Amino acid sequence: MSVATRNGISADAPVAPPRVVRQRRIRPGLLGLAVLLIALGGLGAAFAVNSVRSTGSYLAVARPVEVGQQLTADDLITVRVSGGQELRPIPTRRLDEVLELRAAVRLTPGTLLTDAQLTDAPLLGPGQQQIALGLRPSRVPARTLHPGDKVLLISTPDRSANADDGARGSATRFEATVIDTATPDNSDVVVYLVLAVRDVPAVVVLAADDRIALVLTEAA
């Protein structure tokens, strides 16, 4: 007895049901994460582009500059900074303008230069004069005085005065500001000061008699 076949399969054989292909479900959470990652990537690229665009050439301090000292080209270097606008540094293109100014504060190497650190004000104000005093190291309050330091000039006792006249117990004080210092070969310390015009004669007399000492009251 022959068995009919269809496509090589017996007609009496059980027929396998057709396979149903499941559709993959897209999870909303994964979709949201993908969108977030794409957005973050775009923001990162935009930030990188903006950072490159905002890179500029600015002036920085190359060596220490004291208060009141006029800047020179050797005091400054050029640096490239990304996103430095928030610090308000001075662009390199203003170098010629900066070289006409003086330091309003002590400038530290490696820092960006800003307008707030500079001044065009004269060293001597109204009613002031500059004076140089040669003092023994023991009469100076620190090994190094810096321009801008505030000091008191105090008269020391007159050794020639009698103890009974009270002159040895009195002291006169004068306020002054340091401009510069020097140490000559004779080991005295020369201090260049700014003080009121009215105090100059008395200070000169006291210095001639070696009767004056310095007290540091405020560091620059």
Residues 87 and 151 placed together within one structural domain of the fold: no
Kindly state the average pLDDT of the residues 3-17.
54
Residue 18 has pLDDT above 70, yes or no: no
Q: What is the pLDDT of residue 49?
A: 47
DSSP helix/strand/coil, 178: strand
Task: Supply the pTM of this predicted model.
Answer: 0.53
Stronger pLDDT, 74 or 15, i.e. the higher one = 74
Q: Which residue, 66, 87, 119, sits at the end of a domain? A: 119
What is the average pLDDT value for the chain, to the nearest integer?
A: 78
- Tens of pLDDT, residue by residue over 27-50, are 565 666 666 667 666 666 555 545
Residues 134 and 213 placed together within one structural domain of the fold: yes
Stronger pLDDT, 101 or 2, i.e. the higher one = 101
DSSP notation for 13-74:
SPPPPPPPPPPPPPPHHHHHHHHHHHHHHHHHHHHHHHHHHH-EEEEEE-S-B-TTPBP-GG
Kindly state the average pLDDT of the residues 159-168.
59
Residues 114 and 136 placed together within one structural domain of the fold: no
Question: What is the span of the domain harbouring residue 94?
Answer: 54-119
Kindly state the average pLDDT of the residues 64-91.
84
Q: Which residue, 79, 99, 119, sits at the end of a domain? A: 119
Question: 212 lies in a domain?
Answer: yes
Residue 217 pLDDT class (50, 70, 90 cuts): very high
Residues 95 and 176 placed together within one structural domain of the fold: no
Question: 153 lies in a domain?
Answer: yes
Residue 52 has pLDDT above 50, yes or no: no
Kindly state the average pLDDT of the residues 208-218.
90
CB atoms within 10 A of CB 116: 9
